[in-house]
Amino acid sequence: MPDVEARKAEIRELAEAAVNKPATFGPDLDLSEFNAAEDATSVESLASLSKQTKEAALEIGFDATEEGRSGSYFQMDRSPIYRKVEEMFDNKLEIMSTEEALRLYPELMYEKYYWRNVAPDKDKYTAQVALSTTEGYFIRVKAGQKIDKPIQACLFVSENNISQNVHSIIILEEGAEANVLTGCTIHPKVRNGLHAGISEFYVGKGAKLTFTMIHNWSEDFHVRPRTGVTVEEDGTYVNNYVMLKPVRSLQTFPVARLIGDRSRAVFNSIVYGLDDSYVDIGSETSLEGAGTRSEAIARTVSRERATIYSRGRLIGKNNDCKAHLDCRGIVMSEESTQWAIPDLASVGAPGAELSHEAAISPIAAEEIYYLMSRGVPKDEAVSMITRGFLDLEIPGLPPALRRQIDKALEETAKEAL
């Protein structure tokens, strides 16, 4: 049996050595400026949440009615206030806080999952989560189980100037399938704060995880997600990321390791940079098994004074691997800046096939003129083009969430005029 106490001490030692370690990318933050989150009271039903809370959650795909959901997890600041698995999925699906999972399965968690895909000493943000964790969710789908209704989770910030330090883990055992919809958002009164989120995903042999994250923040909020993924033989991981609201700064660079033969990873990102937002996004895929495949697609639009970095890294480590990056941006303001940074590496794999396509451009005048020639007013033409550019086809989204994203894209495109 693993020495749980020794592993705990190791994690703490690594984190303590990194408390002042800046991240590789993104602006450095003084973490002492943020307060500790207060405890919140559990609820028996999501219906008891305030109207403003339910409306904010719905904007990021979390439906308080739980209609069409297999299970739900809701965290308010530092406290898991609600979790539920639909009765028909009992013994197939587990949903709980990460702290509860550590208590129930200490040997399994510390040996195989906890801080295995993300290093606690990666930077000051991982260190803060390791030393001052404020829960997070644990989701496990049992072997061979195909969860046909989405699992939903919401990480909600209700108070100003707090640091929400969450550590979430998703495990799909061999042959399992699930669609997880996660949203991170804030109460309308919240203006500033920090969300530091560690996510570790483990996709077993022949399993498939579709993970969709929607972020809604505010002009003075900082966000530092850190994500690590491992995919075993014949497994598939699909990551969808959507952010259409302003943020002070966001820096995220999820890393997926395709360790099993014929494993696959797909990253889709839709980002709209507004106001003074500083957004640094990207992904890395390490193709280690034979027959591995990966695709990363990013669509970014920036206006006003927003800055967007869009990074993509592919590392081929097997002669039988293939991957492609597709990064495109539209700049809609003379004060806005975008960077597209593709990064390809073949490591001891001369047969690896890695490619990229990156472009930054204005809206093409001929597209506007074409629509205007068909009787579409100029403002509406610009709105239609912007909406279409951002409208990536994200597979596996439930219709209700697809409609919400469509509505947000339409409203955001109109605001750009």
Same domain? For 382 and 349 the reply is no
The backbone torsions φ and ψ at residue 261, rounded to the nearest 5 degrees and listed phi first, read -60, 140
Question: Is the pLDDT assigned to residue 215 strictly greater than 60?
Answer: yes
Same domain? For 307 and 375 the reply is no
**H-run or E-run covering 28:** none
Same domain? For 378 and 266 the reply is no
Same domain? For 31 and 149 the reply is yes
Question: Residue 402: its pLDDT value, please?
Answer: 66
The backbone torsions φ and ψ at residue 81, rounded to the nearest 5 degrees and listed phi first, read -100, -10
Same domain? For 62 and 23 the reply is yes
Rg (CA), the chain: 21
Nearest-angstrom CA–CA distance, 93 and 114: 19
Q: State mean pLDDT over 335-363.
A: 93
Same domain? For 288 and 384 the reply is no
CA dihedral of residues 151, 157, 162, 165 (deg, nearest 10): 0
Mean pLDDT score across all residues of the chain: 91
Q: Which of 322, 347, 365 is the last residue of a domain?
A: 365
Question: Residue 263: its pLDDT value, please?
Answer: 98
Determine if residue 366 is left, alpha or beta; phi over 0 gives left, psi from -120 to 50 gives alpha, anything else beta.
Answer: alpha
Same domain? For 207 and 314 the reply is yes
Nearest to 307 by CA among 349, 327, 336: 336
Nearest to 167 by CA among 238, 112, 117: 117
Question: Residue 403: its pLDDT value, please?
Answer: 67
Look at 161-170, 234-243, 293-302, 404-413 and tell me which has the smallest mean pLDDT.
404-413
Q: Which of 365, 381, 396 is the last residue of a domain?
A: 365
Question: Is the pLDDT assigned to residue 96 strictly greater than 60?
Answer: yes
Nearest to 183 by CA among 147, 211, 224: 211
Question: CB of 201 within 8 A of CB of 209?
Answer: yes
Same domain? For 271 and 212 the reply is yes
Nearest-angstrom CA–CA distance, 87 and 81: 19
Look at 95-109, 226-240, 379-393 and tell me which has the smallest mean pLDDT.
379-393
How is residue 331 written in tokens? Answer: 């700049």
Structural domain containing residue 406 = 366-417
- Angle between helix 399-415 and 51-59 (nearest 10): 90
Question: Is the pLDDT assigned to residue 262 strictly greater than 70?
Answer: yes
The backbone torsions φ and ψ at residue 5, rounded to the nearest 5 degrees and listed phi first, read -65, -35
Question: Residue 389: its pLDDT value, please?
Answer: 67
Same domain? For 311 and 396 the reply is no
Domain count, the chain: 2
Nearest to 401 by CA among 111, 122, 131, 179: 179
pLDDT band at residue 179 under the 50/70/90 scheme: very high
CA dihedral of residues 87, 177, 59, 285 (deg, nearest 10): 150
Beta-strand pair 79-85/71-76: antiparallel
Nearest-angstrom CA–CA distance, 3 and 40: 33
Same domain? For 300 and 329 the reply is yes
* Identity of the amino acid at 382: V
Question: Residue 394: its pLDDT value, please?
Answer: 66
Nearest-angstrom CA–CA distance, 49 and 37: 19
Question: Is the pLDDT assigned to residue 381 strictly greater than 90?
Answer: no
Q: Tell me how far CA of residue 187 lies from CA of 49, 50, 120, 365, in angstroms.
A: 12, 10, 29, 40
DSSP characters over 278-293: EEEEEEEEEE-STTEE
Nearest-angstrom CA–CA distance, 155 and 186: 9
Q: Summarize pLDDT for 382-401 with one digit per residue, the tens.
A: 767 766 666 666 655 656 66
pLDDT band at residue 332 under the 50/70/90 scheme: confident
Q: What is the 3-state secondary structure of 313-341?
A: EEEECCCCEEEEEEEEEEECCCCCEEEEE
Beta bridge partners of 257: 230, 286
Same domain? For 238 and 162 the reply is yes
Q: State mean pLDDT over 89-99.
A: 95
Angle at 181 between CA 180 and CA 183, to 5 degrees: 140
Same domain? For 373 and 226 the reply is no
The backbone torsions φ and ψ at residue 14, rounded to the nearest 5 degrees and listed phi first, read -65, -45
Nearest to 27 by CA among 123, 100, 141, 135: 123
Q: Which of 365, 388, 409 is the last residue of a domain?
A: 365
Question: CB of 190 within 8 A of CB of 220?
Answer: no
- The pTM (predicted TM-score) of the whole model is 0.92
Neighbours of 11 (CB within 10 A): 18
